[in-house]
Structure 1
Amino acid sequence: MNKQLLASLVAPVLAGAMAFPGFNAETAEPRHDSPASSQRQPTPPPPWDPEQKVPEAEANEAYESAAANGQIDVTGFLDTIVQDADQVWTDFFNRSDYLVEPFVTAHYVGTSSEPTYTMRCGGGVLVDADHPNAYYCETGQGDIILPVNTFAKIWQGEFFRKAPKKTGDFAAAVVVAHEFGHHVQDEIFKQYNAKGVPLPDLHPDDENEELIADCFSGIWAFTAYNRGWLDETDYPEAIASLREIADPPGASSHGDPDERQAAFELGITTGEPNRCIVSYWPAAAVTLHLL
């Protein structure tokens, strides 16, 4: 996909809404009707350039990167995306009368400070640097678990033990944004229920739990595009990677390739979290008067 084609996909919604449940950006009043437009919230650029060439890094934290034609500090890259996603979603939460800024802990597994991590959910899986998956655990304030070597291999063409036709830095970033998307859904559920608004949760076996995280990752990608982070290689590598790790048709755990692509595209082409909730969490959308 060339840059013009990427622009034709996203440009029509550059002025689109970034609304959030319970908040009307134009009137500063709680929302009780369909999603409405609001002004895009600017997010400061990260302090570290994800494509910069670094001279050295800790053992197991730097790998050759075709994208950068040099070495990538993988932990620095992951932390940049986590911090940026946190700022993007904090902007949204802070604009609501009903939601407050969420907190989450990111674990960069395989670094000298955290060589392994025992998950506090999912049966206590022990994750090391090469564990072939990333996770979100809803325990406490929330934990995002990112195995460093597994992400480093993405630059070498291996995506969670798969080999998509295209992959690279933006595919890695979308995985981080996906896990952050789980955190966003979890916080919406927890915070509304704590305030006496009984939102139903998504069941772990419901593919919509994964698809809404894909959609929310597209919301982050929408903001990244608007800040000039994406080039002509980024969108196709994210789509190819998502499709590669999707379920085969007929399975119902994470969504099939078309479903995962559609969820991500809904986020990146609209920039509206409410659209994600309506499509992939309809019971909550009814309670929040989004339908």
Structure 2
Amino acid sequence: MKWKGRRQSDNVEDRRGMSSGGKTVVGGGIIGIIILLINVFGGENAQMLTPVLEQMNQGQSAPTEQRDLTAKELEEQAFVETVLADNEDVWTKIFNENNLNYKKPNIVLFIGGVETGCGNATSDSGPFYCPADQKVYMDLAFFEELKTRFGAKGGDFATAYVIAHEIGHHVQTLLGTSSKMRQLQQGKSKAEANKLSVALELQADFYAGVWTHYNQKMNDILEDGDLEEALSAAHAVGDDAIQSKMQGHIVPESFTHGTSEQRKYWFMKGYKTGDIKQGNTFDEIR
């Protein structure tokens, strides 16, 4: 991905130089949480994670220590700041075109554990968006886990896709889609509620594709292999791929994020059309 030399957002909180601060969540690593919830980068499902995190949150407070970020961490920070700036520019443009105002979210980078408006969390939960404070939380170690344990190709555009997916959940919060989905889930069976969750997640993938479409036109960001990196990440975090890998069989009614093919389809639909109006996944799940 071509990203250097462009505007960087001021809305990234890099807490990686802070350690041992606040409470931490006792957990068994990303695999343990995935087995429990069959959930990778939580998006709006941070709402689902909150009660689990609260139950597990039995850590102890400790004094905060600070250190200087390494050269690699500073490079990662600059990349995230640039990708977030690109998201800000694209979604401000789209919202303005539809006579709406775009409120910019923050991204919080952390290592190990973090306090959020949705409760305390660790890197076990993967990147997620918290609607309570309208922030995206990411431990960048997740992307190595995504590559080594789940077979994604990796690469900077895989990271950009995940960021854009989480910003897609912010867009859903601003448009009221998320709150409407939660209302529709009330009184539904677990399987029916899960279908609505899948629709929300696939729409966030669609919005990530729309962002890619606009950003390519505005900044010519794509290099050879970038789309393949995004599609590989989307495939790796499909519910069917995760369940097959982690438990050896697939339970479709328990899906919360969509299959690998669905995630790839909706990302590419967003990328090819660039039309936010074509992302009604609630009526058109493929």
Picking from 200, 214, 218, the partner of 2:180 is 200
Q: Is the 8 A contact 2:270 2:276 kept in 1?
A: yes
**Deviations along 1:70-123, whole A, 9 cap, x unmatched?**
xx71111112111210111011112233x222231221213xxxx8421222xx
Q: TM-score, normalised by structure 2?
A: 0.62
Match 2:120 to one of 103, 122, 125: 125
Q: Which runs of 4+ in 1 moved over 6 A?
A: none
| Partner deviation per Cα, 1:174-208 (whole Å, 9 max, x = no partner) | 00000000000110017xx9xxxxx8335574201
CA–CA distance in 1 between the matches of 2:203 and 2:71?
30
Is the helix fraction higher in 1 or 2?
Answer: 2
Unaligned regions of 5+ residues in structure 1, if any? 1-44, 49-56, 64-71, 194-198, 284-291
Partner of 1:174: 161
Distance change in 2, residues 1:60/1:175 (3 Å): farther
Structure 2 counterpart of 1:246, from 227, 238, 263: 238
The answer as to 2:246 corresponding to 1:255 is no
Q: 1:219 touches 1:271 (CA, 8 Å); kept in 2? A: yes
RMSD (CA atoms): 2.8
Name 1:103's counterpart in structure 2: 104
Determine whether 1:230 maps to 2:222. yes
Tell me by how many angstroms 1:218 deviates: 0.5
User: Equivalent residues in 2 for 1:84-163 (5 A)?
Assistant: 84-97=86-99, 99-110=100-111, 116-121=113-118, 124-127=119-122, 130-131=123-124, 133-140=126-133, 142-151=134-143, 153=144, 158-159=145-146, 162-163=149-150
Q: How high is the sequence identity, in percent, across the aligned residues?
A: 24
Letter in 2 for 1:86: E
* Aligned equivalent of 1:46: 6
What secondary structure does 2:166 align onto? helix
Quote the offset at 1:163 in angstroms: 3.8
* CA-to-aligned-CA distance 1:22-53 (integer Å, 9 cap, x gap): xxxxxxxxxxxxxxxxxxxxxxx7236xxxxx
Pick closer, same or farther for the CA change 1:220–1:214 going to 2, 3 Å: same
CA-CA distance at 1:147 after TM superposition: 1.4
Distance in 2 (alpha carbons) for counterparts of 1:147 and 1:217: 19
The aligned residue for residue 164 of structure 1 is 151
C-alpha distance in structure 1 between counterparts of 2:215 and 2:96, whole Å: 19
Q: 1:58 to 1:170 in 2, by over 3 A?
A: farther
Counterpart in the other structure of 1:78: 80
Secondary structure at the aligned position of 2:138 is classed as strand
Deviation at 1:132, TM superposition (A): 5.5
Contact 1:239–1:261, Cα closer than 8 Å, also in 2: yes
TM-score normalised by the chain length of structure 1: 0.61
Aligned partner of residue 125 in structure 1, secondary structure: strand
- Residue 107 of structure 2 aligns with an amino acid whose one-letter code is A
CA distance in 1, matches of 2:232, 2:103: 31
| Structure 2: 5+ residue stretches without partners | 9-66, 186-192, 241-249
What is the rounded CA distance, in whole Å, between the counterparts of 1:88 and 1:228 in structure 2?
13
Tell me which residue corresponds to 2:203: 212
| Alignment check: 8 A CA contact 1:162 1:245 kept | no
The 1:265/1:139 distance shift into structure 2, 3 A limit, reads: same
